[in-house]
Structure 1
Amino acid sequence: MSAPLIPISGLTVANRQKMSATLGQAGCSKSACGSSAGPADMDPVVWAKVKDHPCYSEEAHLYFARMHVAVAPACNIQCHYCNRKFDCANESRPGVVSERLTPEQAAHKVLAVAAQVPQLSVLGVAGPGDAACDWRRTKATFEAVAERLPDIKLCLSSNGLALPDHIDEIVAMNVDHVTVTINTIDPEIGAEIIGWIVHNRKRYTGVEAATILRDRQLQSLDMLRDRGVLVKVNSVLIPGINDAHLIEVNRAVKARGAFLHNIMPLISDPAHGTHFGLTGQRGPTPAELKQVQDACDGGARLMRHCRQCRADAVGLLGEDRGGEFSLDSLPDEVEDAPEARAAYRAWVAGERADRAAAAERADRAAAGVADRVLFAVCTRGSGRINQHFGKATEFQIYEADGDGIRFVGHRRADNYCLGGIGDEERMAHIVQVLDGVAYVLCQKIGERPRQTLARAGIEAIDDLGSDYIETAIAAVVQARTAQTAQRA
């Protein structure tokens, strides 16, 4: 339960400036640092691999962009949550693409994006099928991009079934980030999640299929770990099927050296045409997802900032600029701009150091909070409150308590404003999405949505715009604590 709501909107400009000055001085955080050495608890070699990767570093996702190219349409599994629907630009879910590319087209498109998006740091192949199953196209794409853009990291996602056959080539191409989807290590549960697999040109179903898949997935983890490749494990949380079992999955992948475990909610909608969608299998609520994630604390390191991206996504996590770079819009000749990417990365290094110091001081400011308080933040990136409430299509969720301030996830919702006019049906859904949240921090909010939130027990604060998120939360927490003391 959140603590009783205490209005904080009376923070004055002078108080805000004082708080920013107090919390915004330069320094180094206990968990993230702008230095090349990285956090004290992480091997510098590992830090060098993850510091600019928006999926492998929670901090990096505030600054860096990824790009997926849809060059691998073939797949060797049929999962009950997957339907690789083609040409559906308005959906954001894995397996969906608007354009399937040849390796040559993909390399040209990556070059064009890199020239215009200095935040780009990672190229991934995540389908729309399976990158390891369609290995010839995946490999050709990586080779072409590595030749032209050696500073862009290479990354692939796979279900793991064909992955052991290509580990040596993956290592040889300097692909040092691989994601493997592992939804269960129990074949009985696996038989409820997959329809069939094709392995060594033979089709398998049921427990036999799930056993082969499980063994190949765990073999992939062992092989990648032994060769120094960082592995992220994705698990889809399916209520009533594998939700209680994911704690065991977390322990198992940690034991095999997985760097990160990403527990994602099932996306289940009959309109998507998946088996689960058509049979009424529901996805988890945000609270159920967080409960499972929290239960895994102490096991493998958790990823809480995943956006379940399309197989052709472009941009920062939480945004998709893929529509800006359709094949027919690209120039025939593209000049790379490596100096723009280098200048941007230099700016990020300085920004990281400044924000890390602010976050460390904010943690200390929150030390007196007895009860857990949830904040929903409207942000366009860079770790700042820099988005209007009406334009937000997701809310980043932060938690403040006696242990400090930390990011705990995000919640999606359609943006409230359409052409400058608020949509009340969307607002009602936003209120549901923000269940359990005490404060919304945004750059600006209209009076009508502010009042709607207030009736739901949520206070909207828009006088901390452009502040660092942690700094703003600390300001609210300190004001809240002071008001509580005055009332005592």
Structure 2
Amino acid sequence: MEEVSRHPCYSEEAHRYFARMHLPVAPACNIQCRYCNRKFDCVNESRPGVVSEVLSPEQADKKVKGVAAQLMQLSVVGIAGPGDPLANADRTFETFRKIRSSVPGVNLCLSTNGLTLLQHLDEIEELGIKHVTLTINAIDPKIGSRVYAWVVENGVRYEGKEAAELLISRQLAGLKALSERGVLCKINSVLIPGVNDAHLPEVSKAVKSLGAALHNVTPLIVAPGSQYEQEGQRAPRPKELHALQESCGREGMKIMRHCRQCRADAIGLLGQDRSADFTWENIEQAPPLNLEAREQLQTQLEEKIRQRRLRREERNGSSAEISEASSARRFVIRVAVATRGSGKVNLHFGHAREFLVYESDGQTVSLLGVRKVQSYCHGRAECNGDKEATLREIGSILKDCQILLCSGIGDHPRKQLQRAGIVPIVRSGDVEQLILESFRYSYYFQNNLFRKDDVT
């Protein structure tokens, strides 16, 4: 718990308050995934492997200091691409050494495909890198050969099943070695319908046995120009992702559900990429780094998280009676939430580019995942016009939800969502508290428990 208390990727609680920064210092990659096509200059795409510019270690260090001086809740600095950090080991570790010296106290995080991981265990331990993410999409080489086009090691190119066997053996050995050294490992797996969907529960069971702390199953994003795009490979639907996450969770593994599949140059809270705010002009004008003020704020944020947990425990006790009744009737609700972060309902429906989807039985509130959407309103005074297709798409993506919580919504989208069976409720405040209130209303109406005065 101590190791993840400030890491927004490893802790669902921390992601509401603490920020991360990805440094794009690693352009080269030693494998080719069939879903990947890295572009270094596409500012309008939000997916792994995409960056606006590749930085030198010196530039990265300067940028981290400028961001840390202004974004006081920055707690994690990671290197995740745009290629593979360990295929660019010299640049990656030089960057980490500079940051360790200039911004002490920040957590260092590394993401890798694992091909050369065994060669760098000592450097990872020496630098105090306590969090490593491994992308493992298969442990069966036959299935892996449908995910990876090729693997290159020491100038030799491997393809097909031979490539997958080499990569998988290195990944599993690297995971075991890291776990034995006390490094927390998160496993990322891309859900590819018809390829590895039935296989991922086996992956989850295997990585848990080797010491993985967290499994993050993410939906396939078919990159433009990738082999999968050319083959017509489809992305999974939300219900497929949720079912697969549930299946993996039954193997006893802790499942991450708040992943945003960030760009390799993302900055800020998860779901709030502020990389465009930190231009070089902004970095040049940054105030001096105040380490004491940073630590003070982050300690206060940890206390907020502690208080949230206490309030949740109190609510659980007061909701036990209705939860027991609802469990007997198998009554649960699913709620979509528009939020800017901090555990609050604080975003207008029209501005949301994603919705957090929760499920509640009246006592507990569980995050099921994140649903990406195209925002309904792009800032114009009149947003209805030609937005019908966008509204229908949002309704389709959220069709399993009974309620939508937001800080505001126009009359037209409100009526359209109601026709789709989704009830928009305009409220602001704590996400979990409002979901439990929504559950109580839904339960009473469903079971005809309201008196006339209650309805009024």
- TM-score, structure 1 as length reference: 0.87
Classify 1:443/1:333 alpha carbon distance in 2 versus 1 (closer, same or farther; 3 Å): closer
Aligned counterpart for 1:396 among listed residues 356, 360, 367: 356
Percent sequence identity is 48
Match of 1:436 in 2: 400
Given the alignment of the two structures, is residue 335 of structure 1 paired with residue 299 of structure 2, yes or no? no
Aligned counterpart for 1:353 among listed residues 306, 322, 343: 306
Match of 2:178 in 1: 224
**1:134-213 residue pairs with structure 2 within 5 A?**
134-213=88-167
Three-state SS of the structure 2 residue aligned to 1:374 is strand
Cα distance per residue 1:98-136 (max 9 Å; x no partner): 010000000000111101111100000001000111110
Cα distance per residue 1:285-320 (max 9 Å; x no partner): 011000100111232211111100000000100111
Three-state SS of the structure 2 residue aligned to 1:257 is coil
Whether the 8 Å CA contact 1:400–1:406 is kept in 2: the answer is yes
Aligned counterpart for 1:417 among listed residues 370, 377, 380: 377
Three-state SS of the structure 1 residue aligned to 2:345 is coil
Match of 2:439 in 1: 477
Partner Cα separation in structure 2 for residue 333 and residue 440 of structure 1: 39
Classify 1:276/1:362 alpha carbon distance in 2 versus 1 (closer, same or farther; 3 Å): farther
Residues 164-173 or 321-330, more deviating = 321-330
Whether the 8 Å CA contact 1:133–1:163 is kept in 2: the answer is no
Runs (4 or more) in structure 1 with deviation over 4 Å come to none
Cα distance per residue 1:67-100 (max 9 Å; x no partner): 0010011110011011111211111000000010
Given the alignment of the two structures, is residue 112 of structure 1 paired with residue 66 of structure 2, yes or no? yes
Q: In the TM superposition, what is the alpha-carbon distance from 1:329 to its structure 2 partner?
A: 4.2
Partner Cα separation in structure 1 for residue 390 and residue 293 of structure 2: 39
AA matched with 1:168: D
Cα distance per residue 1:125-168 (max 9 Å; x no partner): 00100011111000000000010111110001000001110011
Partner Cα separation in structure 2 for residue 285 and residue 185 of structure 1: 23
AA matched with 1:286: P
Match of 2:453 in 1: none
Whether the 8 Å CA contact 1:363–1:474 is kept in 2: the answer is no
AA matched with 1:263: V
Q: In the TM superposition, what is the alpha-carbon distance from 1:200 to its structure 2 partner?
A: 2.5
AA matched with 2:441: A
RMSD of the alignment, in Å? 1.5
AA matched with 1:381: G
AA matched with 2:448: Q
Three-state SS of the structure 2 residue aligned to 1:231 is strand
Cα distance per residue 1:361-406 (max 9 Å; x no partner): 4444261433221100011111111111111110001001266211
AA matched with 1:106: A
Match of 2:343 in 1: 383
Structure 1, unmatched stretches of 5+, are: 1-46
Match of 1:459 in 2: 423
Higher RCO (Cα < 8 Å, 6 or more apart): 1
Given the alignment of the two structures, is residue 309 of structure 1 paired with residue 262 of structure 2, yes or no? yes
AA matched with 2:237: T
Q: In the TM superposition, what is the alpha-carbon distance from 1:487 to its structure 2 partner?
A: 5.6
Classify 1:208/1:360 alpha carbon distance in 2 versus 1 (closer, same or farther; 3 Å): same
Residues 97-106 or 346-355, more deviating = 346-355
Three-state SS of the structure 1 residue aligned to 2:11 is coil
Partner Cα separation in structure 2 for residue 324 and residue 223 of structure 1: 39
Match of 1:282 in 2: 234
AA matched with 2:401: V
Partner Cα separation in structure 2 for residue 243 and residue 477 of structure 1: 32
Three-state SS of the structure 2 residue aligned to 1:472 is helix
Structure 2, unmatched stretches of 5+, are: 451-456
Partner Cα separation in structure 2 for residue 403 and residue 297 of structure 1: 20
Match of 1:264 in 2: 218
AA matched with 2:438: V
Whether the 8 Å CA contact 1:119–1:344 is kept in 2: the answer is yes
Cα distance per residue 1:222-260 (max 9 Å; x no partner): 110110000000000000000000000000000001000
Q: In the TM superposition, what is the alpha-carbon distance from 1:325 to its structure 2 partner?
A: 1.6
Residues 125-134 or 347-356, more deviating = 347-356
Partner Cα separation in structure 2 for residue 278 and residue 392 of structure 1: 31
Match of 1:4 in 2: none
